[in-house]
Amino acid sequence: MMFFDVLRIELFKVFRRPRTFIAFGAIAMIILLIQFALKVNGQEFILFFTDSQTDTFDIPVDGILNGYFVCVAVLHIILVHVPLLVALIAGDMIAGEANGGTLRMLATKPVTRSQLIIAKFAASALYVILLLLWMALFALVGSLLLFGSNDLVVFKETDLHVISQTDVVWRFIAAFFFAALALIMIASLSILLSVFADNSLGPIVATVCIVIIFTILQQLKVPVFEQTINPWSFTTHMLGWKGFFYVEKTADGVTIPGSIEQPMALVKSGLILIGYSTAFLLAAIGVYRRKDILS
Amino acid sequence: MKTVLEVKGLTKRFADFTAVDDLSFSVPAGSVYGFLGQNGAGKSTTIRMLLTLIKPTAGEILFFGKPLASNRHAVLSKLGAIVEKPDLYKYLNGLEHLRIFSRLSGIHPQNDKLKDLLSMVGLGHRLTSRVGTYSQGMRQRLALACALVNDPELLILDEPTNGLDPQGIADMRQLILQLSKEQGKTIIVSSHLLSEMEMIADQVLIIDKGKKIAEASMESLLKQAATLELQQQPQRRFFLEAYFLSLTTP
Amino acid sequence: MKKYLLILGCVLLQASVLLASDPEAVQLLSQVKKKYDLVNDYTASARLVTNVIFIKAPVSQVTVYYRKPDQLLVKNQKGISFIPKGTVHINMNNVLALTNFEALLSGTEMVDGVLCKVVKIFPLSEEESITRATLYIDPEQLLVRRSVVSTKESGTYSIKMKYGAFSWCGLPSVVDMEFNTRDYKLPKGTTLDYDNGTKKAEGLPQKGKVTIQYQQYTLNKGLPASLFRQ
């Protein structure tokens, strides 16, 4: 019962801070801007991906530019930047309180340090989920209202996947769920870094830098990194939400409805993300329990 | 006399220095216990160890006869504290603070009780204003209300009159005396204001460089101070100050 | 005199064309064309199966519109299909409607168990989009079983046809069309793909195939030209 009281208090504090709503406002703005840009320049955007094939195929540009495509484009852009918004809240959880001097007031109450960290983590996780629901509302529902619905075309580096519109919605639900796993992992990393700091700027910047560095390592496709770091780098697995839009096909080249290309890879990625979240959280608890609160 | 707090051989070593060195003292129930020392003497470090903010390197702390290490929840449920300058959530109001800290203490009082508490500390007219709009003195009062929200048996107040104007200091003094004498609460007060300490403390502990220098009732300390030559000097008007400086100044 | 010389020149030119073509090939084509000309227009519902190495697509339900002589449109009403540009050549009238060409018989060949006569067609006009066509014609049923059509702008298409209930007017039940594709590759980092361990198959020929399985034809009801203006 005490844990739920602490969780309620942490959620109350998170959602009473004006800073929290910056993220929601920013996401809404970014999504609307992307939707506007695609409404105006969507055809050129699609032709960029299909330029090499315009001699061979009639590209159904108008059909491709539909609400599902726009939603994937939005997620592609936003989920690179949302870790910053998550770090803004999670990185402030301990360090912000230390900087503000309120941590010592919390720590003198009959709440165990483990309970406090877990409650802050849970509050961060709920914040992430609400952020994603907000994103889903604008990115998916909003895009469908603005652009209509049709089959979804997903452009990969070396191929493209067409998914029937009757086979799409569950993929978005799964993708958002996976994105939540990824962002909760980011939150747990931020909380771990927050435990070491007395100022929230450090953990926030550190989290973003770590994500950027590992993303660059992953995209460089240098063989030594691909064999050693990339398979275990959390940024590799954070992109797993896209995996729900990669479909299997038969030998005849026909996609299999309801299928996912290499589903075990997604399972592995999910487990790795959960593993990282657990490890970061346990480390945060371990460090915080031993830490002298001098702020 | 019943002992609320007993400290035995308390030590805290940081990487390059020893902040508290083999400190032992005991606090009788229902008393106002003064905690004195120069800046850097180890007072705040000691208080932080009492409140589990810092882990001792060595020693034992017993609250209400129970070891703190193994009874943290039970002990802290009966404590209230202000540690150094009270920092609060600027975006929350006074009432919200009390709700939060009461829940963290495991109690769910009605709003009326919380409002009464805020009135007691002189904030009845500002309970729905954000703390960001409070003066330093008002924040000090709110911090005291937060420390009292769980009706603690023991209050630990570190520099409770910090930032208060003379009226505020007088009000705080009256409140401490009221809580001690009328409600029987035990109060540990750490302060630089020796004149204030002279007026409120029943027992005094003086530490310097992390070590205990003196521990006695205020009455006996003042008697000892009166025997010193210092009191012959006209500019030394305050006995306790004179005695304190004689003990702690090289 | 000049006038007579001009007329003589035209006659000789025409004769030279007819003399360069194989009369048997021309006659065979003429007979096939007569059959295919029974259809002025049609609307057909069909299933489109796309088998291209870099495209993963579901089976699509499409509508095929045709208007004589050379207008053909494949449309996915409810979804998305990547239609090869050469699908206009699935209708043999595109080739059969040529007027200025050379045609040669080039032996016979078995196509799906049917012995077909191979007719090679070389358009003589520079303005034609088709540069060369080879038709494998079933002489008994006067049906084109297979065609290989080379175009100026869209490459070469190899089309195989199977016939069913509408063979009487040359309309196929199944069309398999193979064509060359260009490599599909986007710049690194554009799509930030999720690495699920799938490796791109290397060294495979860059060929694509679409199969159109006709389900129902509606013939000669009249289709507006505006339908084909895309």
How far CA B109 is from CA of B102, B105, B113, B114, B145, in Å, comes to 7, 11, 6, 7, 13
Instruction: State CA C162 to chain mean position distance.
Output: 14
**For residues A44 and A42, what is the distance between their CA atoms, to the nearest angstrom?**
5
Chain C from 99 to 138: CB within 8 A of any A CB = none
The per-residue pLDDT for range B106-132, each reduced to its tens digit, is 899 888 999 999 998 889 898 889 999
Chain A residues with CB-CB distance to B155 below 8 A: none
Chain B residues with CB-CB distance to A105 below 8 A: 83, 86-88, 101, 143, 146
The answer, yes or no, to whether B and C have at least 3 beta-carbon pairs within 8 Å is no
Chain A contact for B105 (CB, 8 A cutoff): yes
* Cα-based torsion angle of the residue sequence A261, A264, A266, A271 in order, rounded to the nearest 10 degrees: 180
Chain C residues with CB-CB distance to A82 below 8 A: none
With tokens 């505006």, the residue in question is C226
Q: Which residue of C has its CA nearest to A231?
A: C195
Chain A contact for C52 (CB, 8 A cutoff): yes
Chain B residues with CB-CB distance to A4 below 8 A: none
Average pLDDT over every residue of A199-215: 92
The per-residue pLDDT for range A182-206, each reduced to its tens digit, is 999 999 999 999 999 999 999 999 9
- Residue B222 has a pLDDT of 79
- Residue B228 has a pLDDT of 65
Beta strands in chain A (DSSP E): 57-58, 152-155, 160-163
B3 three-class SS:
strand
Chain A residues with CB-CB distance to B88 below 8 A: 102, 105
The per-residue pLDDT for range B76-98, each reduced to its tens digit, is 999 999 988 888 999 999 999 99
Contact A273, A182 (CB under 8 A): yes
Please give, rounded to a whole number of angstroms, the shortest distance from the CA of A116 to a CA of chain B: 10
Comparing CB atoms, the residue among B73, B85, B106 nearest residue A101 is: B85
Q: With bands split at pLDDT 50, 70 and 90, how would you rate the model's confidence at C8?
A: low
Chain A residues with CB-CB distance to C189 below 8 A: 219
> Which element (helix H / strand E) includes B211?
strand B211-217
What's at A139, amino acid-wise? A
Tell if the CB–CB gap between A156 and C193 is shorter than 8 Å: yes
Chain A residues with CB-CB distance to B74 below 8 A: 110
Average pLDDT over every residue of C170-191: 89
Chain A residues with CB-CB distance to B52 below 8 A: 107-108
- Residue B157 has a pLDDT of 93
Per-residue H/E/C for chain C: CHHHHHHHHHHHHHHHHHHHCCHHHHHHHHHHHHHHCCCCEEEEEEEEEEEECCEEECCEEEEEEEECCCEEEEECCCCCCCEEHHHHHHCCHHHHCCCCEEEEEEEEEEECCEEEEEEEEEECCCCCCEEEEEEEEECCCCEEEEEEEEECCCEEEEEEEEECCCHHHCCEEEEEEEEECCCCCCCCCCCCCCCCCCCCCCCCCCEEEEEEEEEEEEECCCCCHHHHCC
Q: Which residue of C has its CA nearest to A47?
A: C186
B55 three-class SS:
coil
- The model carries a pTM of 0.86
Tell if the CB–CB gap between A105 and B73 is shorter than 8 Å: no
Tell if the CB–CB gap between A57 and C188 is shorter than 8 Å: no
In a domain, A24, yes or no: yes
Chain A contact for B103 (CB, 8 A cutoff): yes
Chain A residues with CB-CB distance to B55 below 8 A: 290, 292
Judge whether residue A210 has pLDDT over 90: yes
What's at A290, amino acid-wise? R
Picking from A3, A10, A109 by the largest number of B CB atoms within 10 A of its own CB, the best residue to mutate is A109
Chain A residues with CB-CB distance to C157 below 8 A: none
Q: Which residue of C has its CA nearest to A243?
A: C194
Tell if the CB–CB gap between A108 and B77 is shorter than 8 Å: no
Chain-wide mean pLDDT for chain B?
88
Chain A contact for B85 (CB, 8 A cutoff): yes
Q: Which domain holds residue A183?
A: 3-290
**For residues C150 and C89, what is the distance between their CA atoms, to the nearest angstrom?**
10
- Ordered by start, the domain boundaries in chain C are 20-184+204-218
The domain defined by C20-184+204-218 carries CATH number 3.90.79.10: no
Q: With bands split at pLDDT 50, 70 and 90, how would you rate the model's confidence at C113?
A: very high
The per-residue pLDDT for range B194-241, each reduced to its tens digit, is 888 888 999 999 999 999 998 988 888 877 777 765 555 555 556 676
Please give, rounded to a whole number of angstroms, the shortest distance from the CA of B84 to a CA of chain A: 10
Q: With bands split at pLDDT 50, 70 and 90, how would you rate the model's confidence at C125?
A: confident
The per-residue pLDDT for range C51-82, each reduced to its tens digit, is 998 999 999 999 999 998 888 999 998 899 99
Average pLDDT over every residue of B5-31: 93
Chains in contact with A via at least 3 Cβ–Cβ pairs below 8 Å: B, C
Tell if the CB–CB gap between A158 and C184 is shorter than 8 Å: yes
**For residues B101 and B97, what is the distance between their CA atoms, to the nearest angstrom?**
6
Most confident listed range (A145-159, B158-172, B220-234)? A145-159
Average pLDDT over every residue of B180-200: 88
The percent of residues above 70 in pLDDT, for chain A, comes to 100
Count how many pairs of residues, chain A against chain B, have C-beta atoms within 8 Å: 81
Chain A residues with CB-CB distance to C176 below 8 A: none
Average pLDDT over every residue of C177-192: 87
Name the residue with higher pLDDT: C111 or B225: C111
The per-residue pLDDT for range B43-59, each reduced to its tens digit, is 999 999 999 999 999 99
Structural domains in chain A (count): 1
Chains in contact with C via at least 3 Cβ–Cβ pairs below 8 Å: A
In a domain, A295, yes or no: no
Residue spans of alpha helices (H) in A51-65: 61-64
Chain A contact for C6 (CB, 8 A cutoff): no
The per-residue pLDDT for range A64-73, each reduced to its tens digit, is 999 999 999 9
Q: Which residue of A has its CA nearest to C47?
A: A254
**Of the given ranges (A218-227, A265-274, C9-18), which has the lowest mean pLDDT?**
C9-18
Tell if the CB–CB gap between B52 and A110 is shorter than 8 Å: no
Q: Which residue of C has its CA nearest to A244?
A: C194
Tell if the CB–CB gap between C53 and A156 is shorter than 8 Å: no
The per-residue pLDDT for range A93-103, each reduced to its tens digit, is 999 999 988 99
Comparing CB atoms, the residue among A6, A17, A294 nearest residue B91 is: A17
